[in-house]
Every structure is written in C-alpha cells, then in structure tokens.
C-alpha cells in the first residue's frame, strides 16, 4: 500500500470547504486530469453513494467507479475507487491560524493486472504532481 | 516549402473532417491552433534551411499571413456541434463550480475572479458556437476556468479509452 498526502491552508470556513469538496461534481474544477464525474446515484455525503469518473492523460481516457466511504461535516470526506486500481482519497480540514488546513491523503494498492497497472499510472500522477496542484487549486477557488 | 504547405493543408482538412463527422460537441481551441501552426512553420523553416533550400518572397508572405491568422484566432474557441444557448449554460456552470459569479448581458458574459474578470462573447458560427475571450485577469481561477470549460467537450485529437466508459458518455 502506497500513500501520499498534500496540504494547503485556505482562508474560508471549514464547513464551506468540506461542503464544496463533498460535492464530487466540483472535482474536475480542481483536479487537472479528471475530465468528468457522472451518474451519481445519490448524495455523495452519504456512505455508499457511487459515481463514474473519467481521467484523461496524454490522449488516453481511463474510466471507473468510486463510492463515498465517510463524511463528517466540516472535518472529513473520504471515498474509494471500486474499479481498476483500489485507492482511497481522504480530504480533511483542521483549523490553522486564521484559516483551515486542508489535506488530501491518497492510499492505493500496487496492482497486479496490466490494465490496473496502466490505471495505477493515473493514480500515481494524481498523487505526486496533481496532489499538490489540486490543493493549491482548492486554495485559489475557496480563499476568501 | 510547397510540400510543407500541402502537409499542413492535409492535416487541417483531416481535422475538419473528423470534427464535423462527430456527434459529440468538439472544442477547437484557437490558442492551440496558433501554437501548432507556429510550431509547424518553425519546423518547416528549419528543415528547409538545413537542406539548403531557399525561401521565395511569396512563401514568406504566405507564412506571415498564416501566422497572423493564427494570432487572430488565438483568443477564440469554437464549440462545433453546440448552440449558443447550451454553451452559455456550460459557461455559467463552469464559473459556478469555481465559485466565480457570472453576469450575462446579451451575448457577453463576465466571470468575476479575484482582482478582475474574464470577459467572454458567445456567438453563433454556423453549426458551432464561437467563444471569444475579450479580456482576462491574471488570477489562477482564470486558467482553471478555461481548463474546466475545455473539459466539457471532446478535443480534436482522437482519444484512446481504457476501462468501462460511463453510461451515456457516448
């Protein structure tokens, strides 16, 4: 199991930040390679709610499904991918100075099949390069 | 240089055919057209020079004309296969996802970002809609807005798909 965590301090209220993040339709706005989120079968704040995701990198499109693991208002939103690479994304918010420290924490398993290995590239890309950019993008969007 | 010009026209015609044959709305970004055209002209000039070729005045004039045309279109995006109404709704949706208020007046849209605004003109252009970026601010949200808007449509380049495509994604 591999893990990467990235953080940024955002000048906004923790509940507003987590409400924004828990609306998974917002994710393509701050995650570069994430092209779309669709077919959400309920409220993403409720555990078990699932949706389709599509990543695009270098002209290659990867699709799969994900579902909510947990949501705590103003504190935490966690979801896991349920097809392809098994990974869990956890967003947390904690007060820091006059702002809120937002952390995205991603854990994923090293896959065995060729298709999953190709999809692992997507997750690794998100973890390393896009993870930092994603939290900086969140800061640009949500800073007040 | 004639060979290079023929190759450029061939690529452009192929791209137009691919885009027009699609049922999904496709985005043609003027900034990318300009960039690729400039790169193509640069490669053509370097290769021709390395081979000891000479450039006639006419060839240089045509190259400059193409680059000027490319410069003109760089602030324009075409959404082929989508009308102005749906594109306007998409612009509003993208701005909303970035917590950026939008105001509309006729065919103009103003997306407010910290320290300024993105001013757009959305107009019909045959089977497509043209989005003109009239002016822009320098905040990071501007780049995020442009990227999110582009994501709403297929790109000109073909895409290789891996995994189960989401239902209804075409």
Return the pLDDT at B170: 43
| ipTM rounded to 2 decimals | 0.88
Asked if B144's CB is within 8 angstroms of A137's CB, the reply is yes
Return the pLDDT at A75: 97
Q: Which of residues 74-103 of A touch B (CB under 8 A)?
A: 83-84
The top-scoring range by mean pLDDT among A74-88, B3-17, B136-150 is B136-150
CA distance A76 to A70: 8
Side-chain-side CA neighbours of B158 within 13 Å: the count stands at: 6
Q: State the first-to-last Cα distance of chain A, in angstroms, to the nearest integer.
A: 36
Q: Which residue of A has its CA nearest to B160?
A: A60
Return the pLDDT at B46: 87
Return the pLDDT at B165: 61
Low-confidence winner among A33-37, A96-100, B15-19, B116-120 (lowest mean pLDDT): B15-19
Partner residue facing A140 (CB), from B141, B151, B162: B141
Q: What is the pLDDT of residues A86-144, one digit of tens each?
A: 889 999 999 999 999 999 998 877 566 655 666 666 666 666 777 889 999 999 999 98
pLDDT at B168 over 60: no
Q: Report the C-alpha dihedral over residues A70, A71, A77, A78, rounded to 10 degrees.
A: 10
What is the value of pTM for the model shown?
Answer: 0.88
Greatest Cα pair distance, chain B, in angstroms, is 56
């Amino acid at each position: 199991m591999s893990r990467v965590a990235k953080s940024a301090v955002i000048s906004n209220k923790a509940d507003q930040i987590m409400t924004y993040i828990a609306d998974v339709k917002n994710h393509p706005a701050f995650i570069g390679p994430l092209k779309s989120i669709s077919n959400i079968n309920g409220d993403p704040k409720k555990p078990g709610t699932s949706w389709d995701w599509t990543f695009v990198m270098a002209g290659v499109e990867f699709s799969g499904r994900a579902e909510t693991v947990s949501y705590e208002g103003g504190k935490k939103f966690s979801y896991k991918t349920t097809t392809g690479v098994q990974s869990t994304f956890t967003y947390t918010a904690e007060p820091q100075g006059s702002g809120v420290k937002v952390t995205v924490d991603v854990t994923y398993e090293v896959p065995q099949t060729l298709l999953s290995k190709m999809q692992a590239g997507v997750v690794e890309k998100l973890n390393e390069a896009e993870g930092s950019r994603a939290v900086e993008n969140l800061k640009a969007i949500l800073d007040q | 240089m004639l060979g290079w010009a023929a190759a450029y026209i061939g690529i452009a015609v192929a791209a137009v055919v691919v885009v027009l044959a699609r049922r999904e709305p496709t985005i043609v970004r003027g900034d990318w057209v300009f960039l690729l055209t400039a790169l193509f002209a640069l490669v053509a000039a370097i290769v021709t020079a390395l081979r000891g070729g000479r450039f006639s005045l006419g060839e240089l004039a045509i190259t400059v004309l193409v680059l000027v045309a490319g410069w003109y279109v760089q602030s324009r995006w075409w959404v082929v296969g989508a009308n102005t109404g749906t594109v306007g709704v998409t612009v509003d949706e993208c701005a909303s996802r970035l917590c950026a208020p939008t105001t509309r007046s006729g065919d103009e849209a103003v997306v407010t970002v910290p320290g300024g605004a993105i001013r757009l003109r959305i107009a019909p252009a045959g089977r497509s809609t043209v989005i003109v970026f009239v002016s822009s601010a320098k905040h990071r949200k501007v780049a995020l807005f442009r990227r999110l808007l582009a994501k709403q449509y297929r790109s000109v380049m073909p895409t290789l798909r891996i995994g189960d495509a989401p239902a209804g994604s075409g």
